[in-house]
Amino acid sequence: MKKSRKILTMDDISARNQELVNGFWNWMETTDRARIVKFNVPGRTLRSIFDSDPLESTTLIDTMSDKIKRYQSVSPFRKQQFKITDPAQWTEDESLGGSLDIYSCYSIFKLWWLSQSIDKEEQQSPLQIIQVGRKYSCHPGSDKRIVLCLLKPQARVRCFYVHYPEFDPSPWHWTLPYDEVNTPDELVEMFHCANHHTFRFFHTNVKIDGHTFHVDDYHYKPFALGLHKAAVKYRKIKNKEKFEVDIDHLTYVDAIHRMGMMESKDMIDDIYFKNDWTFQLGEFKFLLVNDTWLPESFVKAPKSLIDSKYKTNTLTANSFTNNRPNISRHRLGQ
């Protein structure tokens, strides 16, 4: 049974976090250039939004497959060595005691741990949706979305979005029931662990020009990159040499999951390769098909309707037949 929880307000978070939230709120209210909205959406629907761009090759399945491939390259010794590491080492930065192998173990283990955590506790923090050109992604929460939308699709995924109308004039959330977040207290209330000592809000200024973006912290890079793509997609940049925009952004980070993972590192023994084409992530089985690790339930379905690999493989393809008489034979053959 999931535990009841205390609803948090600004009074429950650190003075520094209060300062950061209030700073962004003041900017938002005085400039009227952004609004925060919150909404709930089924995991499968959310996945279709993340994977909606036919020109974007990196779907959730591709992201998951890449994680498995990296884990496959790690030696058995290094996998066992992961059990004696601590969260400070779960990084690719060797100067901090980490390594690519240890980070690969952490990255795949985190998915297995999160999938089990979701069964025991409700979603602790909402996914933060960010704009990437004309499509959407999320940051933070890139690993969490794999669990919530692909491995164990949830009927209700809590999300929030900092909406900048000048860059997203027809936002996706308008197609959903949504609520505006009208006060700082309403913002804090969405984060069930905002009073944890590892939880931190971030507020900074992001600059984009006609050529690129500028941020003070790597944590803002996904948002800034997406905003710059939106400026290009919506033809905001008329003159590359003169175009320049300053905009504030609010996001968050926490390390609560790392503390839980620290106590459960033996669960990495539940992650293994049965053979060269079968991978087990705890209860989740993956099969290697056309150099991509697919969840077992996806093996006889196309990754997308435009995936040529599956169109030409009659053993694994689903057939789509168009019987409409008003479609020309030329179009039917495309």
Strand partners, 284: 281
Residue by residue, DSSP assigns 182-204 as: -SHHHHHHT-TTTTSTT-EEEEE
pLDDT tens digits in sequence order for the chain, 334 residues long: 455 678 899 999 999 999 999 999 999 999 999 999 999 999 999 998 888 655 555 688 889 999 999 999 999 999 999 999 888 888 887 777 778 999 999 999 999 999 998 888 878 899 999 998 878 888 877 788 999 999 999 999 999 999 999 889 889 999 999 999 999 999 999 999 899 988 999 998 988 888 888 887 777 788 888 888 888 877 777 878 888 888 999 999 887 778 788 888 889 999 999 999 999 999 999 999 989 999 998 887 655 555 555 555 555 555 545 454 444 444 444 3
Based on its alpha-carbon atoms, the radius of gyration of the chain, rounded to whole angstroms, reads: 22
In the chain, where are the structural domains located?
10-262, 300-334
pLDDT at 90: 86
The two structure tokens encoding residue 239: 């003159």
pLDDT at 333: 42
Going by their DSSP bridges, the two strands 35-41 and 179-180 should be labelled as antiparallel
In 3D space, the residue among 311, 305, 303, 308 whose CA is nearest the CA of residue 150 turns out to be 303
pLDDT at 301: 61
Q: Is 240 helix (H, G, I), strand (E, B) or coil?
A: coil
The two structure tokens encoding residue 212: 């690129």
Q: How far apart are the first and last CA of the chain?
A: 52
pLDDT at 35: 96
Q: How far apart are CA 64 and CA 82, in angstroms?
A: 20
pLDDT at 329: 43
pTM for the full model? Answer: 0.83
Q: At a CB cut-off of 8 Å and minimum separation 6, what does 269 contact? A: none
